[in-house]
Every structure is written in structure tokens, then in C-alpha cells.
Amino acid sequence: MTVSVSRRHLIGAAGAAMAVSALPRAAFALNPDNARTMVDLVVAAINKVIDSGKTETAMYGEFERIFKTYSDTSYIAAYAMGPDGRRATAAQKRAFTDAFTGYISRKYGKRFREFIGGRLEVEGVQPVKNFLEVRTTAYLRGESPFEVNFHVSDRTGKELFFNIYIEGVNMLLTERTEIGSMLDARQGSIDKLITDLKTAS
């Protein structure tokens, strides 16, 4: 199935509200202290990696472990696939989630590698609709500080982040648009997309 880029753009623009409404209402009971503690661990893990002096490839492996441990990878992957997920088989969905997790780990790992010599600091937590936003600030050498905010829910039964805003850029919407464009370029082939995501970044 080939979908026009313009149609995908409209779908993506409406996606933020869909993503929020798809989260369980139980998320209203989210504990801000637990959410902050989880993001504290994420930030500590990211800071440790960027200070490690490891090779680029080794860092990407560490960032993938961070995503698998602290993010709701199944939700993020399903959101990125969007409406095309309705025609995917269960096996394709599992394979896509695995390949997509590696892909976003490398992609956002590259962004976090830009923080080498700097640091992330957790600033506070605030409720937003039916999830929590944990606000952090990135301090980089030679640059003005900027926000890196994590959206947290307990959809899986524990606090995990399902979205990141870096300097106002929404990860969920960005990846839905990117994955849609990648599918279009492969004439809608989910299998080809899965194969290519294994090395994409």
C-alpha cells in the first residue's frame, strides 16, 4: 500500500492527540516521584555513556540497552508504524519492534553523543493530560542550555518513557513521518523496511 506523503503528514499532525488518548486512564495515578526516579536513572545512564570514552559503536550498544530498559519500545514502535500496522502480521510487528528499537537507539545515540563534555540535569516533573513530563536541561560546552523532556506513562505496569522532546522536536511524530516515508520509498513493503532498519540510523 502506497500512501502519499501529504496524507502521511496530515496523519502525523493528528497523531499527538491519538498518542495521548491511546494511553491508559490508569496513567492518571502515575507517581511523580517514581517518574522522576526513572528519568534520573536514564539521565545517569546517558551521562555515563557520554563520559565513557567508548567507541561510537560501543556507545550505540549502550544506548540501545537504555532504550530497552527505560522506554516503552512496543508503544513507540507501534506509533511509528501508524496505520500500516493494521496490515502487518504479528511476526512482522515483533520484527519491526526489534529493528526499530536498534534504529532509534543509533539515531538518538548520535544526538546524545553530541553531549560529550556536557551533561543532562533533571529539573522537575509536571502532569500533562494522562501522563507525566519530566523536564531536563542539556548543558553543552559552547552552547546555550536547552530542554530535553521525557514523557512518562505506566501503560506497561511500571514507569517508562514513551516520547522525548529535544529542543522542542517530538520524537513520536518525527519517527512516524520518517517511517512512513521509508515505507513509501519501498512501495509499502514492511519486510524491506524491517531489513533496512537493521542498519539505518
Instruction: Give the pLDDT of residue 2.
Output: 36
How large is the average pLDDT for residues 81-105? 96
Starting at the edge strand found earlier in the chain, the sheet holding 169-170 runs 119-128, 131-139, 146-153, 160-166, 169-170
Mean pLDDT of 46-53: 90
Q: Which residues of 56-82 are buried (b: 16+ CB within 10 A; e: fewer)?
A: eeebbbbbbebbeebbbbbbbbbbbbb
Whether 11 has a pLDDT exceeding 70, the answer reads no
- Name the average pLDDT for the chain: 87
Quickly state the pLDDT bin for 22 (edges 50, 70, 90). low
Summarised one tens digit per residue, pLDDT across range 155-199 is 999 999 999 999 999 999 999 999 999 999 999 999 999 999 999
Instruction: Find, among 170, 197, 201, 173, the residue nearest to 185 by Cα.
Output: 197
Does this model's pTM top 0.85? Answer: no
- Whether the per-residue pLDDT at 21 is higher than 80: the answer is no
Question: Do residues 174 and 168 make contact, with C-beta atoms less than 8 angstroms apart?
Answer: no
- 133 or 15, greater pLDDT: 133
Q: Which domain holds residue 75?
A: 5-197
Number of structural domains (the chain) is 1
Instruction: Write the CATH number for 128.
Output: 3.10.450.710
Model confidence at 117, in pLDDT bands (50, 70, 90)? confident
Distance CA 188, CA 196 (A): 13
Q: Would you call 127 helix, strand, or coil by DSSP?
A: strand
Tell me the DSSP string of 19-77: HHHHS-GGGGG--HHHHHHHHHHHHHHHHHHHTS---HHHHHHHHHHHHHHHB-HHHHH
The more confidently predicted of residues 158 and 17 is: 158
